[in-house]
Amino acid sequence: MKSLGILLSGRGSNFVAIADSIDAGRIPDARIAVVVSNRADAPGIAAARQRGLTAVVIPSKSRPRAEHEREVVAALRENKVDLICLAGYMRLLSPWFVQQFPRRILNIHPSLLPAFPGLEAQEQAFAYGVKVSGCTVHFVDEELDHGAIILQKSVAVLDGDDEHSLAARILEQEHIAYTEAINIVMGGGFEIAGRRLRKKI
Ligand code: GAR
């Protein structure tokens, strides 16, 4: 049985999708050991409590980053997590944090990386005028929205779209993508050559 740690800052729909997948057996042999939020008012943390999961708020505001991160890492260790999923965690992890869990931290980003890293990726993509966008699940490394890609899903930008309708269709794909990516990583049947993740033959 693998233990997941979820880090979030807001709405938490990706977390809920992962939790639903575990409950439905779409992610076998896994449990969510702890959900950590850096914001007390994150709806995601309320959702975690409602599901009876261990939910911890570790506020980041007006605190030195190193001190905040030490507490988060301690909470993850205490709950013996095998894999960490960033699910709308709006903080850049320091190199120190990343090195505590090598190749064990995943992130989801609402664009086809390397296009549109950073904040409001869906709005950036829409404003740029791309005809295809999507989402990316990747390993977290020391750089923002940068580590080796586990999987991507594309979403067509339609003539009738605005930023919101596009973001909503991308989010639907995010919810599917995260479950698939967790299964790929937990299944272990892959190798990473350079930045390229591929099935082991
Ligand atoms: C998601 O769209 C996620 O891809 C994005 O934040 C949203 C969180 O939604 N993450 C990033 O932009 C990270 N760079 P959620 O709280 O409902 O899962």
Report the length, in residues, of the chain: 201
Mutating to test ligand 1, I would choose from 108, 135, 155 the residue with most ligand atoms within 8 A of its C-beta, which is 108
- Residue 200 confidence (pLDDT): 87
Domain count, the chain: 2
Question: Closest residue (by CA) to atom 10 of ligand 1?
Answer: 88
- Check whether residue 3 and residue 54 sit in a common domain: yes
- Among residues 65, 86, 101, the one where a domain terminates is 101
Q: How far is CA 174 from CA 28, 41, 84, 163, in A?
A: 19, 23, 16, 16
Mutating to test ligand 1, I would choose from 6, 7, 8, 11 the residue with most ligand atoms within 8 A of its C-beta, which is 11
175 lines ligand 1 (CB under 6 A): no
Strand pairing report for 83-86 and 55-57: unpaired
- Check whether residue 93 and residue 156 sit in a common domain: no
Looking up tokens 């404003």 gives 127
- Among residues 53, 79, 101, the one where a domain terminates is 101
- Check whether residue 79 and residue 111 sit in a common domain: no
- Check whether residue 128 and residue 94 sit in a common domain: no
- Check whether residue 2 and residue 94 sit in a common domain: yes
- Residue 24 confidence (pLDDT): 98
Low-confidence ranges of the chain (pLDDT < 70): none
Is 109 catalytic? The answer is yes
Query: Per the structure block, which two tokens stand in for 136?
Result: 């990316």
Strand partners, 30: 2
Query: Per the structure block, which two tokens stand in for 50?
Result: 């409602």
- What is the domain range of residue 55? 1-101
- Residue 201 confidence (pLDDT): 79
